[in-house]
């Protein structure tokens, strides 16, 4: 596996790096969110080991960002924050597994291998469509009647989620977790993304996103 270790405690990072390399894995190291972001933009990784208490922020922010961008690289959070609320926040942000410090190096590898097996079992995403609206997961592109829609990542993610089950009502919380990796404090964030999608579709499109009062949103045909 090609593993990115995001950890600001140098001895811990070095122990993880040396052990995992000795087990035949390829590792890279990032001591901050900024450094991790740079590596993630230039390299493909099979798994992330992610600390939460980093010098420039909470590792959960990076997990949320990756999920909102449609990046589902397996994430093992490895942190001293070990309360139930901490763990729930980690999973809510998009972590696949959560291991509190101190830890056994062999357990870290075992958990990474389990995550990799789980990821390897995923079926390749297929093209989604509903009427003239379509989404291509491989290209991360949405089209309407064959014409590509110029949309930012969060709006594309919203279309992808809605197209997975057209005419099903999605709650605000479901959509927020799918887009940002966690619930949002203000409903304005989701409304902004919805408005972006509605403007791109246009007022005369044969499909639209409607608000089901008190329940959520769904994609319907006109």
**Three-class DSSP category at 137:** coil
CB 29 within 8 A of CB 5: yes
* 36-88 per-position pLDDT tens digit: 999 998 888 889 999 999 999 999 999 998 988 888 899 999 988 878 888 88
Residue 189 is predicted with a pLDDT of 92
Question: What domains, with CATH codes, occur in the chain?
Answer: 2-120 (3.40.50.2300), 128-221 (1.10.10.10)
Round to whole Å and give the CA distance between 196 and 219: 15
- pTM as predicted: 0.56
Residue 43 is predicted with a pLDDT of 84
Which segments of the chain have a pLDDT < 50?
123
């Amino acid at each position: 596996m090609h593993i990115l270790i995001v950890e600001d405690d140098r001895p811990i990072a070095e122990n993880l790096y040396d052990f995992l390399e000795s087990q035949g894995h390829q590792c890279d190291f990032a001591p901050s969110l900024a450094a991790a972001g740079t590596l993630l933009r230039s390299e493909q990784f099979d798994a992330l080991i992610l600390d939460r208490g980093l010098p420039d922020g909470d590792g959960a922010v990076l997990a949320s960002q990756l999920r909102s961008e449609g990046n589902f690289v397996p994430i093992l959070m490895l942190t001293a924050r070990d309360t139930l609320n901490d763990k729930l926040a980690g999973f809510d942000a998009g972590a696949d597994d959560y291991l509190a410090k101190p830890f056994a190096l062999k357990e870290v590898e075992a958990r990474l291998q389990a995550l990799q097996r789980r990821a390897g079992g995923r079926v390749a995403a297929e093209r989604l469509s509903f009427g003239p609206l379509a989404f291509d997961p491989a290209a991360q592109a949405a089209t309407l009647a064959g014409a590509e829609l110029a949309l930012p990542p969060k709006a594309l993610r919203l279309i992808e989620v809605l197209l997975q089950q057209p005419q099903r009502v999605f709650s605000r919380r479901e959509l927020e977790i799918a887009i940002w990796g966690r619930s949002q404090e203000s409903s304005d964030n989701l409304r902004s993304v919805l408005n972006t999608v509605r403007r791109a579709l246009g007022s005369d499109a044969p499909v639209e996103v409607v608000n089901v009062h008190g329940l959520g949103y769904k994609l319907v045909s006109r």
